[in-house]
A and B are shown apart, each in its own frame.
Chain A
């Protein structure tokens, strides 16, 4: 059977190192690639593409945070601020020296990584909730600096407008064009994370998460790898900030405040800590759920109730449902949507002969 491990024999090192060893995984990846690269841009309207774009941006950020929280076992409530570091770095480069996207995106990521390393230093001495507070401080300090240093923020309005990215001479203005641009970086982030976690660095992260003293005993330099984790994670956050800036055409730190950091934490907790696919699921869940609950309430609820008086009720009910669904999913599967997906997969793997 093509979806089983049995019968798949690896005869070369390359085959053993393949990201998708199973035929079904290779086929699924090919089908998904065709769907997202060819079918989606041709058939999805600008509205659905907008939602996909927001998901793609969130995916990059969630992956980054998952490297730190899910894989290395550290915590950060400052990722919103790291995103704004990336966003303002890129916006300044774009407006001051007309940097192209291939320079602005890595530069934003690297600057965020540098800041992330500094913020990560306390992680060498403190853990858990204490580290959370240290990174929370970073969130506020970075916000304050951007708000008050006009050289960074581009003026007292703290917002810098940037033109859309230009790829091979084409200005990416429409949602579909931006979709392909964002898709490229989201896929790059997914593949990079998958590979990172199979490398020496990734395994060191996991060792630190599982038991840091044991990791030190087997020869992992905790100091270095914790900071690596902060750097890589913040790099992703910085790139997220740059993508956001390109997508909206403006860098503004008010888009990266504390609630954003919390939203991203919610994404990886609901999606599944320490899982690449979970990050993607979480990004989809947190981005789409508020939109879906609104549709359910205004379009279906509108059949029973209508008019101005219920508008307040609908808005608030939506938040209640949003919260309730998060609790429901976590109660049913505390390990997140990724585990849910694996359960479904394992069920069908032996179906219909499950015994």
Chain B
């Protein structure tokens, strides 16, 4: 045994030496590095395994077309398992590789990296999650939600409910079912503020982590409270259980609207398939489905290489979000290169590039995104798709809801945080 012990000791020493060796990075000419953080093995792997391929595929597509004005994009990916220490390490690693921007993933991670982004002058994106107040670019100069924050999503949920219920919510009953963590709590101020102006009755139903049992909440909604509309803001396994539970208890699913992380194909499949989820309304910040020019181009790229398109593509909701994110980065880098006249941009240039994005649409996959130095959310656009047949049917065009209230809330919260 002793011999083995000694050898193991030597082995661990060699591993430590390997760490020092691995620190060496290679810089190529005419490449711009954007670090990608993923969760392929952690609690939200349903999202990561489809979203990250979308990011890489779109960037490969751009590179195969010659890059952006001759600049190729390098997108090293690090799987951080949704863990903060690993994400911090990944951030420093990507920074060391010369990353000029970081695609962040995960709300707690966004919170942990925000101060570093500002200090290092590296822009980061947190589409559809993260700090809702970071929509305010004045206080969060290097953080870009680029998609609707939870506040915009909640406001859009109320707007959709109002339209579906005939134009008025006065006296109507709204149920808000949410995952009991900070991200789940985040929409509450908006829902409560709108309650005053719209005159609806609001009751909240918290699903405690890990969110694998929702039966009590579903029963309370379907049997006891019987709301006119349900807003579902859950993650992980809960959305599927809620769909199944409401269906079993006879609550009509077309009176349910899910915020963006309860809206994937995976949730519907886990609930028992498209049949079960008929009528379920899902909110999207990137178009769902396959019929978009960017997706077709990616398919053509795979065809040219003689490979089948990746399986992740079938999970269109998350895959398209990856494409969306990559496309916004590409647009920002393109703008940054205009600023630098083709020279290598800095992180600050790319930040300015983001703020120059104007009416960016990408053939309908992306909302008419306009990011300004004050508005890093790009307008807070979402689209509602309903489950009909074996797919999603578009119910609304890109919508913005209660924009004034959302912007004012962001400003107020950000200012309060900054005052500390």
Contacts and interface: CB of A to CB of B under 8 A. Distances in A.
Interface residues of A, number: 54
A288 B85 contact: no
Given A255-B112, A311-B53, A344-B5, A47 B92 contact: yes
A254 B40 contact: no
Contact of A156 (B4, B96, B114, B185): B185
Interface in A318-344: 318-319, 328-329, 332-333, 337, 340-341, 343-344
Given A47-B92, A340-B8, A292 B112 contact: no
A205 to B, nearest CB: 28
A175 B40 contact: no
Interface in A41-55: 45-48, 50-51, 54
Interface in B178-200: 180-182, 185-186, 188-189
A285 B38 CA distance: 23
A177 to B, nearest CB: 12
A22 B38 CA distance: 49
A312 interface: yes
Contacts of B89: 50-51, 54, 291
B416 to A, nearest CB: 9
A147 B181 contact: yes
Interface in B140-174: none
Interface stretch (A106-114, A126-134, A293-301): A293-301
Residue with the highest number of chain A CB atoms closer than 10 Å, among B79, B95, B180: B79
Given A54-B89, A308-B60, A344 B115 contact: no
B216 interface: no
Interface in B1-39: 1-2, 4-6, 8-9, 12, 15-16, 18-20, 22-23, 38
A184 interface: no
Nearest to A249: B115
Contact of A309 (B108, B181, B189, B310): B310
A258 to B, nearest CB: 9
Contact of A333 (B5, B86, B188): B5
Nearest to B9: A344
A48 B23 contact: yes
Contacts of A95: 420
A314 B41 CA distance: 10
Interface string B59-79: 010000000000000000111
A312 B40 contact: yes
Interface string B85-106: 1101100110110000000000
A66 interface: no
Nearest to B55: A308
A340 B22 CA distance: 26
A312 B417 contact: no
A309 B19 CA distance: 26
A248 B88 contact: yes
A38 B49 CA distance: 43
Contacts of A287: 85
A150 B18 CA distance: 45
Residue with the highest number of chain A CB atoms closer than 10 Å, among B85, B114, B181: B85
Nearest to B77: A311
A157 B185 contact: yes
Contacts of B57: 308
B253 to A, nearest CB: 28
Would you call the interface of chain B mostly helix, strand, loop, or mixed? helix
B52 interface: yes
Contact of B40 (A252, A316, A341): A316
A85 B84 CA distance: 18
B96 A46 contact: yes
A173 interface: yes
B182 A299 contact: no
Nearest to B94: A47
B16 A288 contact: yes
A50 to B, nearest CB: 4
Contacts of A319: 41
Interface in B115-161: 115-116, 119, 131
A158 B182 contact: yes
Interface in B401-420: 417, 420
A332 B49 contact: no
Contact of A46 (B6, B95, B420): B95
A332 B4 contact: yes
A344 B6 contact: yes
A308 B311 CA distance: 11
Residue with the highest number of chain A CB atoms closer than 10 Å, among B96, B112, B188: B112
Contacts of A314: 79
Nearest to A253: B182
A254 B49 CA distance: 22
B357 to A, nearest CB: 26
B85 A250 contact: no
A311 B96 contact: no
Contacts of A308: 53, 56-57, 60, 310
A133 B408 CA distance: 46
B92 A175 contact: yes
Given A48-B20, A255-B84, A295-B22, A311 B40 contact: yes
A89 interface: no
B5 A156 contact: no
A54 B88 contact: yes
Nearest to B86: A290
Contacts of B5: 332-333, 340, 343-344
B320 to A, nearest CB: 16
A47 B92 CA distance: 5
Contacts of B186: 156-157
Nearest to B19: A292
Interface in B326-365: none
Contacts of B213: none
A187 to B, nearest CB: 20
B1 A340 contact: no
A10 to B, nearest CB: 31
A182 B84 CA distance: 18
Given A156-B186, A308-B310, A51 B19 contact: yes
A159 interface: yes
26 contacts: A46-B96, A47-B95, A144-B208, A156-B185, A156-B188, A156-B189, A158-B182, A158-B185, A248-B84, A248-B88, A249-B114, A250-B114, A252-B108, A252-B112, A252-B182, A259-B83, A287-B85, A292-B18, A292-B22, A294-B79, A308-B57, A314-B79, A315-B79, A319-B41, A332-B4, A333-B8
Interface of B: 1-2, 4-6, 8-9, 12, 15-16, 18-20, 22-23, 38, 40-41, 49, 52-53, 56-57, 60, 77-79, 81, 83-86, 88-89, 92-93, 95-96, 107-108, 111-112, 114-116, 119, 131, 180-182, 185-186, 188-189, 208, 310, 417, 420
Given A156-B182, A288-B15, A299-B22, 11 more contacts: A46-B96, A48-B23, A160-B420, A175-B92, A248-B84, A248-B112, A249-B114, A254-B108, A287-B85, A319-B41, A347-B6
